[in-house]
């Protein structure tokens, strides 16, 4: 079997398990929405005019994605650990990087669903003009999600064996992925600024893409030795 077929099989396996219970999707989406509500209480003042919190919207969007992503990453691998299925998955006669790519695609799909919910919600609640350049916004979100997911999937997979995995995942993940969050937030706020600063957003998109290349390459390279005991 080739690389893409194996990655697709791993993704389909995760999707099949998820569509039986919808456990991770429903909890992640609800968590993302409650994050947004907490930020609303922190940033929106009663006397302020509608739309006054629009400049905070980009930050709120990316932080909600990062927090929900951490939760989802933990849950995805907790399920593998609980069923002791990760060992079986790794025993399969398949290249390890293909298994990693399958897992990564699952996380990216899940976060894409969360973003599809969060973007209109935040645009509505905070009056943020997210849809002025929809293609660039989609590009920023896609590149940011892949960068965050690439590191997150690797770290969550390797932490399955660690004792204090719940605490260690965010501790390891945030310092390393903060460049991704910074690029995402700055790029998105360039789009919500008036007038729209398209060149700045595209520069941040280019930086995000270079992060993605580095992170995905490194993750593919280190997944094999990390998952070998």
CB 207 to another protein: min, Å:
7
Residues 6+ apart with CB under 8 A from 200: 186, 187, 190
What's CA 184's distance to the chain center, in Å?
Answer: 11
Residues 6+ apart with CB under 8 A from 48: none
CB 225 to another protein: min, Å:
5
- C-alpha to C-alpha distance for 179 and 141, rounded to whole angstroms: 14
CB 215 to another protein: min, Å:
8
The tokens for 179 are 């460049």
Q: Which is nearer to another protein, 47 or 229 (CB)?
A: 229
Q: Which is nearer to another protein, 112 or 226 (CB)?
A: 226
Binding site for another protein (CB under 8 A): 151, 154-155, 158-159, 161-164, 167-168, 171-172, 175-176, 178-179, 182, 203, 207, 211, 214-215, 218, 222, 225-226, 229
Q: Which is nearer to another protein, 32 or 149 (CB)?
A: 149
CB 67 to another protein: min, Å:
18
CB 221 to another protein: min, Å:
8
Please report the sign of the dihedral spanned by the C-alpha atoms of residue 229, residue 90, residue 7, residue 62.
negative
CA angle 123, 124, 128 (to 5 degrees): 35
CB 149 to another protein: min, Å:
14
Task: Quickly tell me which residue has 């939760």 as its tokens.
Answer: 71
Q: Which is nearer to another protein, 67 or 130 (CB)?
A: 67
Q: Which is nearer to another protein, 1 or 178 (CB)?
A: 178
- C-alpha to C-alpha distance for 67 and 28, rounded to whole angstroms: 9
Q: Which is nearer to another protein, 42 or 167 (CB)?
A: 167
**What distances in angstroms separate CA 215 from CA 161, 188, 202, 221, 222, one per listed residue?**
22, 21, 20, 10, 10
Residues 6+ apart with CB under 8 A from 89: 10, 80, 99
């Amino acid at each position: 079997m080739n690389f893409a077929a194996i990655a697709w099989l791993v993704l389909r396996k995760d999707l099949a398990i998820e569509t039986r219970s919808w456990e991770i999707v429903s909890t992640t989406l609800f968590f993302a929405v409650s994050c947004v509500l907490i930020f609303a209480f922190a940033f929106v003042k009663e006397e302020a005019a509608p739309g006054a919190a629009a400049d905070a919207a980009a930050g709120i969007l990316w932080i909600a994605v990062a927090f929900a992503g951490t939760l989802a990453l933990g849950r995805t691998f907790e399920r593998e650990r609980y069923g002791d299925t990760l060992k079986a998955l790794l025993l399969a006669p398949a290249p390890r990087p293909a298994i990693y790519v399958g897992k990564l695609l699952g996380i990216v799909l899940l976060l894409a669903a969360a973003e599809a919910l969060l973007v209109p919600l935040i645009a509505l609640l905070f009056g943020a003009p997210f849809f002025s350049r929809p293609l660039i916004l989609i590009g920023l979100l896609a590149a940011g999600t892949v960068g965050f997911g690439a590191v997150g999937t690797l770290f969550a997979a390797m932490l399955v064996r660690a004792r204090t995995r719940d605490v260690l995942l965010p501790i390891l993940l945030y310092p390393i992925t903060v460049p991704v969050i910074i690029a995402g937030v700055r790029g998105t706020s360039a789009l919500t600024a008036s007038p729209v600063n398209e060149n700045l957003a595209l520069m941040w998109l280019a930086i995000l893409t270079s992060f993605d290349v580095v992170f995905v390459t490194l993750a593919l390279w280190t997944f094999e030795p990390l998952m070998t005991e």
